[in-house]
Structure 1
Amino acid sequence: MEHQVGQLSAPSPSGSSEFAALADALTEARLRRKRGAKWGETAPGVLPAWVADPDLPIAPPVAAAVRAALDSNDLGHPYEDAAPARAWARWSARRYGWEPDVSYASAHGNVVAAMAACIDLLTAAGEPVIVPVPTYPPFLLAVRDLGRRPLPVPLTVDGSGRDAFDLGAVAAALRDGARLLLLCSPHNPTGRCWSADELRELTELVAAHDGWVISDEVFADVTLPGVRHVPTASLGDAVAARTVTLTSTSKAFGTAGLRHALAVAPNADLHAAISHRRYTRGATASLLGAVAAEAAWRQGDRWMDDVVRYLAARRTDLLDALPRLPGVRCRPPEATYLAWWDLRRTRFAAAPAAELLARARVQLSDGEPFAAEGFARFNFALPRPLLAQALDRLADAFGG
């Protein structure tokens, strides 16, 4: 089945053009004043297209909510109420046509911390954990750090040339004793937005073996025109009963520094255990993070629609530039603001990110930590002028 077209509320033309103007006005000099990793760890003169932070205007409701907390001197320990989780449930109903039960939602400092808690609780030391690869590097790191054994299952390619799950390899892993699969949906780094049929086949297979799925859905809101995110736990009671959903405003709203994520468990016992892990592992959410997340999910629809339109245009810019990068293969990302470049047929194949950093002064994420040597990940959530500059630099490097 093909993806359904996303049912996004349509922003007004003036609202969209106003957002584009604000985004385009974010100059390199202004962005270099940021203290986050993306710019702070990038050398002068280098354009950063690596860390998955968007360089876009902050959503006005988020900025207003954080300022109000600061004005109230409200920087203490968070009081965990259900307001952010309820806001996310209503957001999901508006955006995806599914309102989750958040009775067993807990707040965490970030998605990786929540995932680590789940791995620790749902598997035993030494057990294999299925990880479709390529994958977001902390998936593999968390499994190893907890004394489990990552079991990489490479994605395959379907009949239309898109990345797809290797169900045969997943089934074999489950028969061999694996009980947990780490799912990234939408997928980082390939940009795939999995269809309902793809997710149903995968998750029903895992559930049939009494396995569990941890579904990282932090890029859910960055689904580009032509696709619609399908929440894993929306696929029926049997799947929902074996799924822990992880979500955050960190990627779509650019709030990673505020430390807030939700873990939504399917039952009270698992919820209590996941919640307890926060306090023993220093992984509690911040008050400002909770304030920002609630504001984003309650009032961020118009801003998010404008972001999606802007990113769709930047994706077009990126794809239009590919002929200037001979040998680079890239399937158009359906979601996220990440392009996954196959450079194995280029002269930069041995160390793509390092070579392009040296030759083009553009910083990408190398594929090796994603379990994909010869690849690189390009973050195109940049203001249009800076993206154009980065692509020009890269084209010069490929032509030189």
Structure 2
Amino acid sequence: MLFTDLGLSEPILRAIAEEGYTSPTPIQAKSIPAVLKGGDLLAAAQTGTGKTAGFTLPILQRLSTTKPSSGKRLLRVLILTPTRELAAQVQESVVTYGKYTGLKSTVIFGGVGANPQIKAIAGGLDILVATPGRLLDLMSQKCVSLNDIEILVLDEADRMLDMGFLRDIKKILAALPKQRQNLLFSATFSTEIKALADGLLNSPALIEVARSNSANEAIAQLIHPVDRTKKHPLLAHLIQSNDWKQVLVFTRTKHGANKLVTQLEKDGITSMAIHGNKSQTARTKALADFKAGKLTALVATDIAARGIDIDQLPHVVNYDLPNVSEDYVHRIGRTGRAGSNGVAVSLVCIDEYQMLRDIEKLIKQKLPQEVIAGFEPDPNAVAQPIQLRSQQHQQSRKPKAATGGAGRAPAKKAPAKRSSPPKRSFNR
């Protein structure tokens, strides 16, 4: 199947062609016709399979061929995402593939100044991409109206529920017109997602292009059992002995990410960390340097698991297994994208054996294990509660003096921008 077979207009096809794409991915081939029909949709696919274009392309088509009866530009589409990185990526897709349609869009999220966002909204929009918190803030200030929304998209809905956005989502839903098209896209079909869909969607089309919670078959997965104190030396050994040039490493905590970067730098492995406490400048530089090949290792927390999109990333390492099993699928989904193969390695200590069993149960797959010579785990080691160790670390840190409003959370920073995709398979 080609994009020209899907009923998309010439301006949109031209933009797609300029990016070097001709054939849709399976999720795109199924979701684009479904969205164009105008009905509700519940869609699931593995991360990295092109869900974003699965809804942005038909939305652009619908808006460009159906104008408001008033003749004025109205905010007709709302796309909600859980993180600012994802919001920025969706907005980039809207801009890239809608550049010949004349449609206007913007993205809003917290942690940055609201005035430029308010100005962009006031200038008139067709499409708004937003995170729930900032959208509610601007709604409370009467800076944005959702009265004319025709299409609502919940992107990465499972992650939004994981992050506790259900109450915010319900507040936003209450402000929307009753008659609208609802599109719910998710990487997984959890019980919570199905419950949300039951209350939101009206006789939806159901698309699932891969088994729920399964891992991309293009990703080779491997477990290295190791003692908790030998994880850093083992990671350095793997990078150096295999001459890995680009490795995305996931840690459980921000403190752990910073500590690992310090250790890797001492080993001569160029590294930077990316997480919620990093400044905008630091996050942007880290991601840009990593994409440009100036860094060997980018160390990230789970907040970035669905926000980092790097084409042809060869290696992902789970330095720590995630607390939530579903996050394993999203982490390793950063590799094996755009038709290329990838390798996902997990360094697992005795404390994480139950997490590993939970992950294998989720993905319905027994993961192969390989002990690396010189890093054999101690057979007499005793597991320690991971949460307890985390709490002890937090309690050991001295509280800093307040420098701003009492109880104010650290400001979030602006997202890093994605690089252009390779001219291979359409995967955005």
If the TM-score is normalised by the length of the shorter chain, which range does it land in? 0.3 to 0.5
Higher relative contact order (CA 8 A, sep 6+): 1
Highest Rg: 1 or 2?
2
User: What's the TM-score, normalizing by structure 1?
Assistant: 0.36
Structure having the higher helix fraction is 1
Name the TM-score, length of structure 2 as normaliser.
0.34
